Chains A and B, each alone.
Chain A
Amino acid sequence: MENGTDRPAASTRAVEIGVAAVILLFGLVVVIDSFRIGARWGDDGPQPGYFPFYVGLLICISSAMILLRAARNAALAAESFVSREELKKILTVFVPTVVYTSLIAYLGFYLASTLYIAYFMWQLGKYSWIKTVPVSVGVSVAFFLIFEIWFSVPLPKGPLEAALGLN
């Protein structure tokens, strides 16, 4: 994607600083919570926050170093972390994945997976329904046979399995 029309969606420096800031925040949370439950020497040994306190401290120090180094590096600002075109591609996969995982709780694993695979094939692969339906249903049936029957590992089920009496 090295063409002129494809502008960067974010510079490497911006993402580097953003990620380091999130890590720094996480480190602070760890330090504060460890301090709350006691990060010093108790009556019978180290208090529960003793070890995590130093872990949090090291997170803060290292992320602060990364942040400062990125902020001073002007070359990183010109570098593209992800272009718009790439970001679009990633989102066309990522958004359905988020929808898929949240649907599992309502539709059950197998129905949600069938819909997810079918969506992918239809939307991204431009397959006709003649190919999409057998492949997506076939994969889910195969998973059902492998997990429920062969390994007897139950996966979450929904209204479809209830209607078919497979629970």
Chain B
Amino acid sequence: MEEINALLQGFGVALSPLNLMLMFVGVILGIIIGVLPGLGGANGVAILLPLTFSMAQQPGGTTSAIILLSCIYWGALFGGAITSILFNIPGEPWSVATTFDGHPLAQQGRAGSALTAAFTSSFVGALIAVIMITFLSPVVAGFALKFGPPEFFAVYLLTFCAFVGMSGGNAAKTVASMMIGFALAAVGLDSVTGTLRLTFGFTSLLKGFDFLIAVIGLFGIGEILETLEEGLAFKGASAKINAKVVLETWKELPKYWATSLRSAAVGCFMGIVPGGATPASFMSYGLARRLSKDGKNFGNGVVEGVVAPETAAHAAGTSALLPMITLGVPGSPTAAVLLGGLLIWGLQPGPLLFVEKPDFVWGLIASMYLGNIAGLIVVLTCVPLFAAILRIPFSIIAPVIIVICAIGAYTVHNSMFDVYLMVIFGVIGYAFKKLGYPLAPMVLALVLGDRAEENFRNAIKGSQGDLAVFFSNGLVGGLTALALFLLFWPLIRTLLRALQGKRAG
């Protein structure tokens, strides 16, 4: 029960007045970010990250800073549900499945129940994921303490191969997007030899590309451009929610406990795998439709069809932080930005964090419990307020969002060059999104590129260039084998199907 003690101490840290206030500020900002077009969890956190630089230098400040930023993340997850249900606009890719039943419910005048069901199941999904993080992360971290460079590189390899195997899209595009991220991460001064790489004599490239700029441009400017061509009018259902509706929906929800638990399990498992939240929400929606007694009504507006994807998405979004704090491998773009934050504040994410900074880790985990409670209270009481944000005309909100993105990009390094870069990344984001190149692998590769390369170099330096080091013992061999299996999974699946087809024919 060592974890319980550590967690209680974590609550001691998280319950300070300052941290409690930051929690509410973070959740409210997060919901606004989640509701606004062009701003989402990843670039919202990226824009606000520079504001925490001075905060993080005070004693205990890194914990406050991570509480603020992670609560923005929870808020953004909650906010995504509001736009999906009321406006039929999924704020995040994993809210797409919420629109299937959420928006029909809103059109039938049951927006209140749909929202209550969404928020409550988000909360349940997050809670189950946090409980898992509480007990599983010390185990994983303890295990990872034995890792050397080959094992760490194998974990990175596994992360990136999982993208190729699990994404389900065009594998070549996933690889291209990921490798562009790695190449951009390599630009600048090589930390080992001091050689300049890919700078071509431009002094502004010496520092390399900052992933924060890429995130702000790709997700922010890119999304605004994409929204524009779809037209500017948002037509939404009204958001009336009162205590009576909430209580009635809560009475109905326990009926769906099986769907809830199943979706949470799917979410927790998929969240650990990078890019898992979106497939998790679709998968649990599909499972619920197949297994529910009410399955044929799915899509016409049933509460269970909101419960399933929301539980899974929130569970996945939360459990994406498990590999981030234990291994230093983020499970989602937003987790990647949080990881970048830790690096900027001078913390080394990974197993040593549990040994060296227990206050930080357990304060963060405790804040996940409290932040989600804060989030639930805020969304249930203030939905109409947040929905009103989307009624601000686009011709005002769009330039304001672009100005905010520009400020965010500038403040990272106080450099105008970054603002220009942001615009370029915006164009790349627009083109890539429309052509179906996934953006998450590029962001993760940009964040992890240097660390992956460093571990790769150290590993093969130790073995004198022999790649067999990645199969030198059971642990690293198992990780590498699993990575290769995931990498070739699309190919294996096609072969299996062809074999089956032959047998059947």
Q: How far is the CA of A135 from the CA of B403 in the complex (A)?
A: 14
Q: Does B221 contact A (CB under 8 A)?
A: yes
Interface contact B198-A135, CB-CB below 8 Å: no
Q: Does A77 contact B (CB under 8 A)?
A: no
Interface contact B403-A117, CB-CB below 8 Å: yes
Interface contact A48-B407, CB-CB below 8 Å: no
**Closest residue of B by beta carbon distance from A65:** B172
If A51-B186, A98-B423 touch, whether A127 touches B395 (CB-CB below 8 Å) is yes
Interface contact A55-B182, CB-CB below 8 Å: yes
**Closest residue of A by beta carbon distance from B460:** A46
Q: Does B504 contact A (CB under 8 A)?
A: no
**Closest residue of B by beta carbon distance from A124:** B395
Which chain B residues border A69 with CB–CB below 8 Å? 172
| Chain A interface, >50% SS class | helix
Q: How far is the CA of A93 from the CA of B423 in the complex (A)?
A: 12
Interface contact B403-A143, CB-CB below 8 Å: yes
Q: How far is the CA of A121 from the CA of B403 in the complex (A)?
A: 14
Interface contact B395-A46, CB-CB below 8 Å: no
One digit per residue, 1 when the CB lies within 8 angstroms of any chain A CB and 0 when it does not, for chain B 451-492 equals 001001100110001000000000000000000000000000
Docked complex: B153-206 residues within 8 A CB-CB of A: 170, 172-173, 175-176, 179-180, 182-183, 186, 190, 192-193, 195-198, 200
Interface contact B399-A101, CB-CB below 8 Å: no
One digit per residue, 1 when the CB lies within 8 angstroms of any chain B CB and 0 when it does not, for chain A 8-32 equals 0000100110011001001101100
**Closest residue of B by beta carbon distance from A125:** B395
Which chain B residues border A160 with CB–CB below 8 Å? none
Instruction: Pick the residue among A29, A89, A98, A104 that contacts B229 (CB under 8 A).
Output: A89
Which chain B residues border A82 with CB–CB below 8 Å? 229, 434
CB distance from A7 to the nearest CB of B (A): 15
Interface contact A101-B406, CB-CB below 8 Å: yes
Q: Does B249 contact A (CB under 8 A)?
A: no
Which chain A residues border B50 with CB–CB below 8 Å? 153
Interface contact B229-A48, CB-CB below 8 Å: no
Interface contact A90-B395, CB-CB below 8 Å: no
Q: Does A165 contact B (CB under 8 A)?
A: no
If A23-B176, A156-B410 touch, whether A37 touches B195 (CB-CB below 8 Å) is yes
CB distance from A80 to the nearest CB of B (A): 11
**Closest residue of A by beta carbon distance from B458:** A45
Range, interface on chain A: 35 or more
Docked complex: A108-149 residues within 8 A CB-CB of B: 109, 113, 116-117, 119-121, 124-125, 127, 135, 139, 143, 147
Which chain A residues border B410 with CB–CB below 8 Å? 104, 109, 155-156
Interface contact A66-B179, CB-CB below 8 Å: no
Interface contact B407-A147, CB-CB below 8 Å: yes
Q: Does A167 contact B (CB under 8 A)?
A: no
Q: Does B82 contact A (CB under 8 A)?
A: no
Q: Does B369 contact A (CB under 8 A)?
A: no
Q: How far is the CA of A120 from the CA of B395 in the complex (A)?
A: 6
Interface contact B416-A105, CB-CB below 8 Å: yes
Interface contact A117-B195, CB-CB below 8 Å: no
Which chain A residues border B457 with CB–CB below 8 Å? 45-46, 50-51
Interface contact A62-B420, CB-CB below 8 Å: no
Interface contact B396-A125, CB-CB below 8 Å: yes
Interface contact A116-B396, CB-CB below 8 Å: no
Interface contact B431-A19, CB-CB below 8 Å: yes
Docked complex: A48-103 residues within 8 A CB-CB of B: 48-52, 55-56, 58-59, 61-63, 65-66, 69, 81-82, 86, 89-90, 93-94, 97-98, 100-102
Which chain B residues border A81 with CB–CB below 8 Å? 434
Which chain A residues border B396 with CB–CB below 8 Å? 117, 120-121, 125, 135
If A93-B398, A109-B407 touch, whether A30 touches B198 (CB-CB below 8 Å) is yes
Q: How far is the CA of A13 from the CA of B342 in the complex (A)?
A: 42
Which chain A residues border B186 with CB–CB below 8 Å? 30, 51-52, 55
Most buried by A among B51, B176, B224, B398: B176
A-B contact list, 9 entries, CB within 8 Å: A27-B183, A51-B186, A51-B453, A52-B182, A62-B173, A62-B175, A62-B179, A65-B172, A153-B51
Q: Which 4 pairs between the two chains have the least Cβ-Cβ distance?
A: A125-B395, A86-B229, A120-B399, A62-B176
